Amino acid sequence: MSTSNVSNLSIQTSMRLTIRQAQNELIKSQNEVSTGIFYDVGAELGGETASTLDLTRDGLRLQSMIDTNAIATQRLESSQESLSQMSAAAQEMQDALISLGKSGASTTIDVATQTISNALNTFTSVANTSVGGEYLFAGINTDVQPLTPYDATSAAKVAFDTAFASYPWSTPKTAAEMDDFITNVVEPMYSGANWNTDWSSATDQVMTSRISQTEVVDTSSSANSNGMRYFALAAVLSKELLGLDLHDDVRSVVSQKAIAYTGVAIAGINSQRTQLGMSQNRVEKANASLQVQIDILDTTLKSKIEVDAYDASTRVNNLLALVEASYTLTSKIQGLSLVNYL
């Protein structure tokens, strides 16, 4: 008769393998409990995995549109605020001109002229507003300052002085001459190509943004708009001509023309605000529509990859119990020795 060795090594090895497998399954199950989705979507869904990838890609694409729309919204809000400041400055200028009336008192004229100079400075500063390194009113030339400030060396100032000096004035100047000078000499300098030479570096084409899969809207305005041209025209006329030694009827022509141009400026600027407001409304509606589409995609995706929370929790508890029991059994096996029984 022969005897064979009895060893607990094979049993210990088997138990270690069981523990390792249980630990791996526990990691997967705990991940599913915490994330709510399958640990390995490909292994669970097989051939349907491609559809989940398509849903994820479509959701990310729609979300990227919402993120891009946030930039467009910021540009629109900043443009609206700037246009509001311009409109307020134009209104102040108009009020000053109306208050001046036909008065020839130097103090009254000085106050009106100073108010108008301040309004022009505000207008130029606001028109050159930039957000995120992009000028709001430069059209598509977003890296170029749209308006050149009006000062003693500016092209607009030189052009006005040249036009004034070369006009065949009578002595003294008459109301008819002043009306002709303003209407036929100065106004064309602002309504025509001279504006782009002397004042503006902006383009007529404005910034646009794709806010959905099918919609593109204007998300900025241009310094070449009529509202801004006529603001500058009214301000320059008032600034340069009101303080001259003119008869009251001649000065009245200047103030009345300036008031009329300021009215055009206010209407034009408010029209720009309305257009941008419409764009803001369309962006809001587009975002709402995009979010609905994202929610639908998320719901569909979750229905494919979401785990049963109760089942996953139960599996975790069972695996924890199994691992704990395996540790206990392994410990007892390791303690087995014939020496303890001899």
Q: What confidence tens digit (pLDDT) does each residue in 279-335 have?
A: 999 999 999 999 999 988 888 777 666 665 656 667 656 666 666 666 665 655 555
- What per-residue confidence (pLDDT) applies to 146? 95
- CA–CA separation, 64 and 132 (whole Å): 19
The mean-pLDDT minimum among 69-83, 141-155, 205-219, 327-341 falls in 327-341
- CA–CA separation, 4 and 2 (whole Å): 7
The CA–CA distances, whole Å, from 94 to 108, 258, 305 equal: 15, 8, 65
- What per-residue confidence (pLDDT) applies to 283? 94
The contacts of residue 183 (CB under 8 Å, 6+ apart) are: 257
The predicted model scores a pTM of 0.76
For the cut 80, the answer to whether the pLDDT of residue 202 exceeds it is yes
Would you give the distance in Å from CA 171 to the centre of its chain? 56
pLDDT band at 278 (very low <50, low <70, confident <90, very high): very high
The contacts of residue 202 (CB under 8 Å, 6+ apart) are: 135, 137, 138, 139, 141, 144, 146, 147, 222, 223, 224
For the cut 50, the answer to whether the pLDDT of residue 1 exceeds it is no
- What per-residue confidence (pLDDT) applies to 100? 81
Unique residue bearing structure tokens 């051939």: 47
Query: Pairing mode, if any, of strands 208-210 and 130-131?
Result: unpaired
The mean pLDDT of the chain is: 83
- CA–CA separation, 270 and 241 (whole Å): 27
Question: For the segment 241-251, what is each residue's pLDDT rounded down to a tens digit?
Answer: 998 988 989 99
- CA–CA separation, 228 and 238 (whole Å): 16
The CA–CA distances, whole Å, from 183 to 227, 260, 309, 328 equal: 17, 12, 79, 102
The CA–CA distances, whole Å, from 295 to 34, 131, 282, 288 equal: 21, 32, 20, 11
In the chain, where the domains are located? 59-137+148-296
State mean pLDDT over 51-74: 86
Dihedral pair phi/psi, residue 53, rounded to 5°: -65, -40
Instruction: Give the DSSP letter string of 34-93.
Output: HHSB-SSHHHHHGGGHHHHHHHHHHHHHHHHHHHHHHHHHHHHHHHHHHHHHHHHHHHHH
Q: Provide the 8-state DSSP code for 207.
A: P
State mean pLDDT over 200-210: 92
Tokens of 263: 């009215």
HSE-up of residue 296 (Cα within 13 Å, Cβ side): 8
- What per-residue confidence (pLDDT) applies to 9? 54
- CA–CA separation, 286 and 69 (whole Å): 9
Question: For the segment 119-131, what is each residue's pLDDT rounded down to a tens digit?
Answer: 999 999 999 999 8
Decide if 196 contacts 228 (C-beta within 8 A).
no
Strands (E), the chain: 130-131, 134-135, 208-210, 216-218
Tell me the residue length of the chain: 342
Give the CATH number of domain 59-137+148-296.
1.20.1330.10
